[in-house]
């Protein structure tokens, strides 16, 4: 009999256990690199490229690629002079990412583990945290951890660049209510979000962009799928900053 749950961290770990199958799947997810998975392509997010090229995210700062996968965004940022840390749960993803970085002669610090539950795995503050597909794979209780993570690791005036599943027509991900994921002990492939939900969750940040990602054709040097949101949120210093609008 186990009655050891006594702290908030114990509760979070207890709830994590309901979704162990969702977490474990990432360990072998990248073993077959020929699978037709959209984000296996070696292309950066079109939204991230747009933010960098528009000067919204000044070059030369410290960046964390959160849930970096095969390193497509980390490599783009390193090529443009950012000091990049990249973290992922999957050893297979990091092996692939390291190979891509080495082939390009890039220096990227790759970190293996769960950035939300392993103290000191990452070392902020960062001027930019880029999350391309990590957030929508978190169970609802880990949103609390995610927001705390940003508070600890995103520098004042720094930016969160986010892509996540979009609810509604043409979107992707589960639109079940939060309680249903605990009833089913499954994330059903990832959680869909509305624009209003994202604005509520990141209300203390300054919204600089929030739109559907642009669809990019196969020949494009950028990755883009319209079933995803693209968002850019700034940790405030003093003044509010207006949005950047849609480039599509």
Q: What is the set of domains in the chain, with CATH numbers?
A: 8-234 (3.40.50.150)
| Average pLDDT over every residue of 94-108 | 96
Q: Which residue has the higher pLDDT, 53 or 243?
A: 53
Listed residue (179, 214, 174, 208) closest to 194, CA to CA: 174
Please state, for a pLDDT cut of 70, what percent of the chain lies above it. Answer: 96
Res. 106: pLDDT tops 90: yes
Query: From the centroid of its chain, how far is CA 58?
Result: 19
Res. 93: pLDDT tops 90: yes
| Average pLDDT over every residue of 204-227 | 97
Asked whether the beta carbons of 103 and 75 are under 8 A apart, the reply is no
d(CA 224, CA 172): 14
pLDDT at position 245 is: 52
d(CA 80, CA 38): 24
The mean pLDDT value of the chain amounts to: 93
pLDDT at position 238 is: 56
- Of the CA atoms within 13 Å of residue 177, those in its CB half-sphere come to 2
Query: Strand 62-66 vs strand 83-88: parallel, antiparallel, or unpaired?
Result: parallel
| Average pLDDT over every residue of 86-114 | 96
Asked whether the beta carbons of 70 and 95 are under 8 A apart, the reply is no
| Average pLDDT over every residue of 129-136 | 97
Three-state SS for 69-138 is CCCHHHHHHHHCCCEEEEEECCHHHHHHHHHHHHHCCCCCEEEECCCCCCCCCCCCCEEEEEEECCHHHC
- Taking only the tens place, the pLDDT of each residue in 160-211 is 999 999 999 999 999 999 999 999 999 999 999 999 999 999 999 999 999 9
| Average pLDDT over every residue of 20-43 | 87
pTM higher than 0.85 for the full model? yes
């Amino acid at each position: 009999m186990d009655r050891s749950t006594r702290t908030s961290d114990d509760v979070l770990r207890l709830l994590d256990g309901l979704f162990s199958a969702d977490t474990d799947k990432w360990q072998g997810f990248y073993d077959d690199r020929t699978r037709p998975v959209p984000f296996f392509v070696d292309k950066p997010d079109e939204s991230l490229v747009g933010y960098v090229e528009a000067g919204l995210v000044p070059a030369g700062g410290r960046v964390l690629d959160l849930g970096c996968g095969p390193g497509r965004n980390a490599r783009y940022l390193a090529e443009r002079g950012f000091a990049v840390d990249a973290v992922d749960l999957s050893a297979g993803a990091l092996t692939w990412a390291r190979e891509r970085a080495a082939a390009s002669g890039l220096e990227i610090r790759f970190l293996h583990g769960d950035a939300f539950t392993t103290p000191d795995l990452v070392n902020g503050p960062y001027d930019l945290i880029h999350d391309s597909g990590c957030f929508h794979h978190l169970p609802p209780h880990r949103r609390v951890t995610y927001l705390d993570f940003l508070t600890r690791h995103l520098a004042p005036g720094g930016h969160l660049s986010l892509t996540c599943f979009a609810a509604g027509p043409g979107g992707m991900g589960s639109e079940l209510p939060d309680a249903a994921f605990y009833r089913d002990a499954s994330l059903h492939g990832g959680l869909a979000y509305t624009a209003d939900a994202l604005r509520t969750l990141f209300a203390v940040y300054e919204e600089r962009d929030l739109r559907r990602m642009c669809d990019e054709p196969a020949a494009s040097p950028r990755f883009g799928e319209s079933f995803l949101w693209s968002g850019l949120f700034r940790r405030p210093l003093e003044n509010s900053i207006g949005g950047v609008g849609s480039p599509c």
